Amino acid sequence: MMQNIKLRFHVSHILSDLLADCLSSLGASGVASVDRTEFEAIYLAQKDAVYATDAVDEYLSELPEFVLVEAWFSPENKLVGVQNNTPVLVDLDGDFQGELYEVQDKEPVPLCDVVAFIEEKMAAFQEFFGGDYRYLGAELIESEDWENAWKEFYAPLRLSSRITVCPSWIDYQANPGEELISLDPGTAFGTGYHESTELCTAYLDELAFREEDFFQEARMLDLGTGSGILAIIMAKLGAKYLEAVDIDGQAVETAKENFAKNNLNFYPEKSGDKKEGYFLYPGELSDTGGKFDLLVANLIAKLHVDLAEEYERALNKKGYLLLSGIIDSKMRDVLTALEKVGLKLKEARLKNDWWALVFRKPEK
């Protein structure tokens, strides 16, 4: 029977998606979380259809406030270790002697260094978002079906009136008028289970419904596309011209896989002279082509502040700027920075301490 390693963590809800993304980028075959906040949100959204409400209420009340995050790794999967302060690809030692081995020369990389690498990443996130993080330890497990065990934590998630995200292994039949996004958790940051993604999706759905002609005719950009989820949603809602970029090349490769999984064709380069199509490539805002009528950026508050002037230059007159990933304590910083460059706040939405802000560039 195959031996596998499971890493376990306790983390605040505000950091859970960021930790899951970090673990996935290290090569975890599965990442699962038990998150009271997410369970409550899903339950409340579907409460009328849930059987035995009292039992569900009791179950939720007994869940702890922290999030339990577990990540599975097998000898076939690779994990990023740390050597000379640089991440390196390593293989897991099958007999679990507490060390990891670099692929090329098999030099040992202690497991504690891998954990230190994760903790360094989480400390940086805590600086911006707050919250608590704690590593609980590693466990050697033997299971014939370990690769599928984590999947039981996920279910189809309705993000807006028309958009539902569903893992590929679930057989889900969409209702008339419902757009189904196939996206597996644990591939790159952005699975739909975070408030920032939900807030963006709801606004995009409303904008596409309210201003259908604008939505189909607009030049759109998804900056920091991650898993590609927001770009895919824009395409499903009728976008004809869309650029999706990310500074992380691996995220771009993941987004390409998700585009293909949703039967969306794309060009792996800039648009050039093309007037329509989806363009998915590595880069940052300064690498994109031309100006946009709708710019979506689900990043962090500091990046929004730093990019304020570039956002303004990248927008056409009367263009929309949709920003998310903004924790409540940083919202005023973002608002001040964007208004300073002449963009006007059109709408602000809040959910569980996370903000999405919609700005518009004046006509004159």
pLDDT score of 252: 87
Q: Which of 152, 181, 209 is the last residue of a domain?
A: 152
Bigger pLDDT: 359 vs 40: 359
Residue 321's nearest CA partner among 285, 352, 279 is 285
Domain co-membership, 64 together with 113: yes
3-state secondary structure of 10: strand
C-alpha span between 184 and 345 (Å, rounded): 34
Instruction: Give pLDDT tens digits for 55-100.
Output: 455 555 555 568 888 888 776 666 666 666 556 666 555 445 555 5
Q: What share of the chain is helix, strand, coil (3-state, %, to 5)?
A: 35, 30, 30
Domain co-membership, 10 together with 146: yes
Domain co-membership, 180 together with 297: yes
Q: Which of 152, 173, 192 is the last residue of a domain?
A: 152
Domain co-membership, 134 together with 174: no
Q: Taking the chain, what is the end-to-end CA distance rounded to the nearest angstrom?
A: 69
Domain co-membership, 133 together with 164: no
Instruction: Give pLDDT tens digits for 191-229.
Output: 556 788 889 999 999 999 999 999 999 999 999 998 899
Q: What is the DSSP string of 251-299?
A: HHHHHHHHHHHTT---BSS--TT-SSEEEEEE--GGGS-S-EEEEEEE-
pLDDT score of 278: 96
Residue carrying the six token digits 């590593």: 135
Domain co-membership, 163 together with 103: no
Instruction: Give pLDDT tens digits for 235-274.
Output: 999 999 999 999 888 788 888 988 999 999 999 988 888 8
Q: How confident is the model at residue 168 (pLDDT cuts 50, 70, 90)?
A: confident
Structural Rg of the chain based on CA atoms: 21
Q: Which of 152, 167, 190 is the last residue of a domain?
A: 152
Q: How confident is the model at residue 17 (pLDDT cuts 50, 70, 90)?
A: confident
Domain co-membership, 133 together with 167: no
Helix axes 229-236, 249-261, angle to 10 degrees: 30
pLDDT score of 78: 62
Domain co-membership, 70 together with 166: no
> Structural domain tally of the chain?
2
Domain co-membership, 88 together with 143: yes
**CB-based contact 181:262 (threshold 8 Å):** yes
pLDDT score of 158: 81
**Burial tier of 51 (Cβ tally within 10 Å: 0-12, 13-18, 19+):** exposed
* Mean pLDDT of the chain, nearest integer: 81
Domain co-membership, 105 together with 164: no
pLDDT score of 148: 63
pLDDT at 310 over 70: yes
Domain co-membership, 192 together with 222: yes
pLDDT at 336 over 90: yes
Domain co-membership, 199 together with 83: no
pLDDT score of 91: 58
- Look up the CATH number of the domain holding residue 291: 3.40.50.150
- In terms of residue numbers, what domain contains 24? 3-152
Comparing 155-159, 318-322, 337-341, the range with the smallest average pLDDT is 155-159
Percent of the chain with pLDDT over 70: 74
